[in-house]
Chain A
Amino acid sequence: GAGVSQSPSNKVTEKGKDVELRCDPISGHTALYWYRQSLGQGLEFLIYFQGNSAPDKSGLPSDRFSAERTGGSVSTLTIQRTQQEDSAVYLCASSLASGATDTQYFGPGTRLTVL
């Protein structure tokens, strides 16, 4: 079946602009995760959703970052007033349910470049 999809695959923006990144999880997966992969860094957890609720937002680096999920499916990660340090690959994952025992399936990512 279809995997996790993300759009756009690449996004180039100017410093100070807002961007929206989209994630379509695997159908039926109730948990959805956002991670950030910066050059030379590992993957950094940002936020996870169980259904439409976000029990853990602890990884969001600043109040410029927000995320929402509607209908228990699609999620959007919004970065306001982008900065150069926001340049990274943003990865989305989904799992059948929440909990570390449930395998997280990752999308191909959105590469964000802030000029």
Chain B
Amino acid sequence: AQSVTQPDIHITVSEGASLELRCNYSYGATPYLFWYVQSPGQGLQLLLKYFSGDTLVQGIKGFEAEFKRSQSSFNLRKPSVHWSDAAEYFCAVGPRGNEKLTFGTGTRLTIIP
């Protein structure tokens, strides 16, 4: 069965600093990969997704993610975080031919001034 691991439960970074959130997946083939963000009291918003092709994917709000097949990883990055980026971030996989998404347990991001 597929699984997603987000090893960092909580990360704190200073405003303006760079950010990397880790995501590792387990699946027999290359899945579809997603990053979602959930702000307090809000639903999940899609940041970016990877299906195939270029392994560096650009998303909204200045985020990017890189798919590394050899490491089964899909880490999310941002060069300079803003206070408004404080939220919970979820990595998800959707196996080809399957409709449901499997989510990681999330990483809560705190931004300090």
Q: Of the listed stretches A13-21, A79-87, A99-107, name the one at the interface; the rest are far from the partner chain.
A: A99-107
Q: Which residue of B lies closest to A50 (CB)?
A: B99
Nearest CB in chain B: distance from A96 CB, A: 13
Per-position 1/0 for B38-63, Cβ under 8 A of A: 00011111100101000000000000
- Contact B105–A101 (Cβ < 8 Å): no
**B96 at the binding interface (Cβ < 8 Å):** yes
A56/B32 in contact, CB under 8 A: no
**Complex partner residue of A106 from B44, B49, B106, CB under 8 angstroms:** B44
Contacting pair B46 A56 (CB below 8 A): no
Q: Decide if the interface of chain B is mainly helix, strand, loop or mixed.
A: loop
Q: Which of the four size classes fits the interface of chain B?
A: 20 to 34
A45 within 8 A of B: yes
In the bound complex, do residue A108 and residue B43 qualify as a contact, i.e. CB atoms below 8 Å apart?
yes
Q: How far is the CA of A35 from the CA of B110 in the complex (A)?
A: 25
- Decide if B103 is an interface residue (CB 8 Å cutoff): yes
Q: B85 to chain A: closest CB distance in Å?
A: 19
Known contacts A43-B90, A101-B32; A33/B100 CB under 8 A: yes
Answer whether A98 and B99 are a contact pair too, CB < 8 Å, given A103-B46, A109-B43.
yes
- Interface residues in B54-110 (C-beta closer than 8 Å to A): 90, 92, 94-106
Q: List A contacts of B21 (CB < 8 A).
A: none
Q: With A103-B46, A107-B43 as given contacts, are A45 and B105 in contact (CB-CB < 8 Å)?
A: no
Chain A contact residue count (CB 8 A cutoff):
30
Residues of A near B44 (CB, < 8 A) are 43, 91, 93, 106
Whether B51 and A42, one on each chain, are in contact in the complex, defined by CB atoms closer than 8 angstroms, is no
Q: Using A100-B32, A101-B32, A107-B43 as known contacts, say yes or no to A31 and B99 having CB atoms under 8 A apart.
A: yes
Known A55-B99, A107-B43: A100·B94 in contact at CB below 8 Å: yes
Specify which chain B residues have a CB less than 8 angstroms from the CB of A106 in the assembled complex.
Answer: 36, 43-45
Rounded to whole angstroms, the CA-CA distance of A42 and B95 in the bound complex is 17
Instruction: In the A-B complex, list the 9 residue pairs whose CB atoms are closest, starting with the nearest.
Output: A100-B94, A106-B43, A43-B103, A106-B44, A42-B103, A42-B105, A45-B100, A100-B32, A108-B43
